[in-house]
Amino acid sequence: MAQSRKDNKGRVLRKGETQRRCDGKYVYTYTDPEGRRKSIYSKDIKTLREREEQLIKDQLDGLDTYVAGSATINFVFDRYISTKAELRDTTMTNYKYMYNRFVRDGFGKKKIAGVKFSDVLHFYQHLIKDKAMQINTLETIHTVLHPTFQLALRDNIIRKNPSDGVMAQIKKLPGKNHGVRHALTLEQQRAFIRYIEDNPKFDRWLSIFKFLLGTGCRIGEAIGIRWEDVDFEKRLININHSLVYYSRDYKEHPMCTFSISLPKTEAGIRIIPMMDAVYEALQKEWNEQQENGFNETEIDGMKGFIFMNRFGNVHNPQAINRAIKRIYESYNAEEVVKAAREHREPLLIPHFSCHHLRHTFCSRFCENETNLKVIQSIMGHANIETTLDIYAEVTETKKHEAIEKLAHKIDVF
């Protein structure tokens, strides 16, 4: 028969109870409903057991509340997210961050059993109109809210998922940014790069923008690329990780930090051949760093990052987006004056961000390659549908050009 554990006063301790030798505090260790190990502490055994009883009561009350359908959206979201053990740390952190920032303190307090389709629709419209949220960001919110309702549906707490069809309705709204990222035209792309090349104020950004436009990498993959990931002899770039910049907890830790993550999907682990412009940009960067010093930043045990800011650290994605804005605004201001002097229409560069450069690369690729599997592999798209969507957008424009060329080259009438 197993001997019962006792405290330093000879009293028998219950299951889960221990007493620390270092300070004499009592500890009760338990597993919460989501399978996480937790502990509560007290200086005396009586107070600890009172807290144990309250804890058990709270857990039962919480379960009863859920079963009765009177739980809040927050309660079900916490239950849902605790089951997603397969999510990567950065994805999990992003989901929690977005939910806590935009849902928890408002819409999340609603009783889930009473939420209707129109409630979700109004909430999404509020985020777009009052919070000036872009559709792409709203889709992240939907990515966590829809399965939260779906969990309640599967647990027979609600009879229908109120978020079904809401995003389709939102995308029908007139005059809204529906999340389509349009690529730069070839002329705009060339104008952007040439302006950087000719402007000493911005030329330090040349290498990373040539890299982005010549590889189609996601911004996290680009700022995280290391010299050891580049094979100059074979002219290959090994994409095997991503550098992310985020807050681990929006409320408790609002300051952001860098962390190493696997690429967005398994398909994101890939080898990209170097085109001449990328090879030359990286060779130039290597030669300059040999003379002026290499990036000394170390993140999660990794170092040797290629691209660095003027302080010798890795780039913040938002700093790159701000640089893009400064560059195209400066270019557009000069181009308007120049075009007026030359009596022509100005070639203006529209607002765009880092991710538009990835979309631009993919568009140029689709214009010159018909093998969709090759495009999918280079881009690291998990689903061929993503590749098809971009290819269809590009070929729609190319169809008009093809007909015009046909009309000029062949006299068929």
What confidence category does residue 413 fall into, taking pLDDT thresholds of 50, 70 and 90? low
Q: Which residue has the higher pLDDT, 60 or 30?
A: 30
**CB neighbour burial string for 390-404, b if at least 16 within 10 angstroms, e if fewer:** bbebbeeeeeeeeee
What confidence category does residue 270 fall into, taking pLDDT thresholds of 50, 70 and 90? very high
pLDDT in tens, 84-136: 877 777 678 778 888 998 999 999 999 998 999 999 999 999 999 888 888 87
Each domain of the chain, given as residue ranges in start order, spans 17-67, 73-170, 186-405
Q: What is the pLDDT of residue 33?
A: 56
What confidence category does residue 1 fall into, taking pLDDT thresholds of 50, 70 and 90? very low
Q: Which residue has the higher pLDDT, 128 or 412?
A: 128
User: Candidates 2.40.160.50, 1.10.443.10, 1.20.1250.20, 3.40.50.300; correct CATH number of 186-405?
Assistant: 1.10.443.10
- Furthest-apart CA pair in the chain: how many Å? 107
Q: Which residue has the higher pLDDT, 413 or 85?
A: 85
For the chain, give the mean pLDDT: 86
CA distances from 387 to 186, 218, 365, 377, 380 (A): 19, 15, 11, 10, 10
- If one counts every other C-beta atom within 10 angstroms of the C-beta of residue 62, the result is 15
Reported pTM: 0.64
CATH number of 73-170: 1.10.150.130
Q: What is the pLDDT of residue 179?
A: 46
160-166: long-range contacts (C-beta < 8 A, 24 or more apart)?
Answer: 162/115, 162/116, 162/117, 162/119, 162/120, 163/117, 163/120, 164/117, 165/117, 166/117, 166/120, 166/121, 166/124, 166/142
Q: Which residue has the higher pLDDT, 100 or 407?
A: 100
- Per-residue pLDDT at 256 exceeds 80: no
**Percentage of residues in the chain with pLDDT exceeding 70?**
87
- If one counts every other C-beta atom within 10 angstroms of the C-beta of residue 181, the result is 18
Q: How far apart are CA 125 and CA 138, in angstroms?
A: 10
- If one counts every other C-beta atom within 10 angstroms of the C-beta of residue 107, the result is 21
Q: What is the pLDDT of residue 161?
A: 95
Q: Hey, what's the torsion of the CAs at 352, 358, 359, 363, to 10 degrees?
A: 130
Q: What is the pLDDT of residue 178?
A: 46
- Per-residue pLDDT at 59 exceeds 80: no
Highest mean pLDDT (candidates 29-38, 88-97, 303-312) = 303-312
- Chain-centroid distance of CA 339 in Å reads 39
Helix (H, G, I), strand (E, B) or coil at 39: strand
pLDDT in tens, 349-363: 999 999 899 999 999
- Per-residue pLDDT at 387 exceeds 90: no
